[in-house]
Amino acid sequence: MHPCSHYCHNSPGSFSCSCNPGYSLERNGHTCKDIDECDNNNGGCDLDNECINIDGSFICAVMCKDGYRRSGDGQRCIGQCLSLTCASIDFTKLNESVKRENYPLPAVKESLANARMFTKLDANSSFWQTNLAEESRPLTTFITPFGRYCCNRLPFGINSQSANEFFQKRMSETVEGYPGVLCHMDDVLVFGASQEEHDERLEKILEAIGKADLTLNEKCEFSKPSVKFLGQIVDASGCRVDPDKVYAIAEMTKPTDISGVRYLNILTLDQYFKLIQGVNTDDVLWE
């Protein structure tokens, strides 16, 4: 039996040990220790994700709101709480039959010409403000110790693309026809070239939102020369990336070994260059 934790390599009169990817060799030259990738910049995960270390690797898991639990693969939040009893609802089978709305999300840069003053509105519990059709409600039926129940409003856990696009369509129809407004899911940006124009547009948008029986939360920001919107900083000069969203990349340590290169592979090149404005990937030389 060789003394190495993972691999033993024979050489004339001696031997050496090596480890599986995701492990480092201890100073004794025999023992392999799991590398905790999460210790460095949250493992490279997005700021709204949690890095969870596992043997030889790690995962970037979503962070769920109160009343929801993380799925086994860590990629989605499921369930919802009823009073003091938490009912975990798995819509996997239902999602196989849910049709997409195919409603595109707008681009920010295309809509902000001459904008100088901004207000950011945030819809409260977005999906829960959307009533399900009577014929669709029984499809969400779930069983509890107290009987069977179904959802009257659009629950979290329904096919994310379809639910997102449906809510986007509803919000877009609510503000349709009003100038100086950009809607992206539950985030609404109202802007104007002057304070007067901004205030006039904002009043009309708030009236439209009220007529649609939509409510807003405390995260709204009113009448500011600069706001953070969809991961970008928006002001009179245009849009630029929010430094908080690229901090992990900006502060990333240059890899010096195989483990470091493996860590860097968390980001694909396409994802990396999307975060860097003004870079033409055709002109990039790799050593």
Give the pLDDT score at 191. 93
C-alpha 220/C-alpha 120 separation (Å) is 6
pTM of the model: 0.55
- Rounded to an integer, the average pLDDT of 112-139 is 86
Which amino acid does the sequence have at 97?
S
Domain residues of the chain, as ranges? 7-79, 90-241, 243-286
Which pLDDT belongs to residue 88? 67
Residue 222 is predicted with a pLDDT of 94
**What are 221-280's pLDDT values in tens digits?**
999 999 988 888 888 888 888 888 777 777 776 777 777 666 666 555 555 555 454 445
Structural contact between residues 81 and 125, judged by C-beta atoms closer than 8 angstroms: no
CA torsion, ordered 272, 277, 278, 280, to nearest 10 deg: 20
Dist CA 138 CA 219 (whole Å): 34
> pLDDT per residue over 49-78, tens digit each?
889 888 888 889 888 876 677 777 778 777
Please report the pLDDT score of residue 11 as a whole number: 86
Q: Would you state the pLDDT for residue 197?
A: 93
Tokens 């009179």 map to which residue?
236
Mean pLDDT taken over the chain? 80
User: Per the CATH hierarchy, to which homologous superfamily does domain 90-241 belong?
Assistant: Reverse transcriptase/Diguanylate cyclase domain (3.30.70.270)
Residue 90 CB contacts under 8 Å (≥ 6 apart), including other chains: 78, 157
- The per-residue pLDDT for 82 is 41
Q: For residue 4, what are its two tokens?
A: 């190495």
State the CATH class of domain 7-79: mainly beta
pLDDT at site 285: 47
What is the average pLDDT across 70-94? 68
Taking residue 63's Cβ as centre, other Cβ atoms within 10 Å add up to 13
Per-residue pLDDT at 80 exceeds 70: no
Q: Label residue 44 left, alpha or beta by phi (over 0 means left) and psi (-120 to 50 means alpha).
A: left
Average pLDDT of the residues in 31-59: 86
pLDDT of 284 strictly over 50: no
Give the model's pLDDT for residue 274: 52
More confident residue, 167 or 118: 118
What is the CB neighbour count within 10 angstroms for residue 211?
Answer: 9
Label residues 153-165 b or e (16+ Cβ within 10 Å = b).
ebbbbbbeebbbb
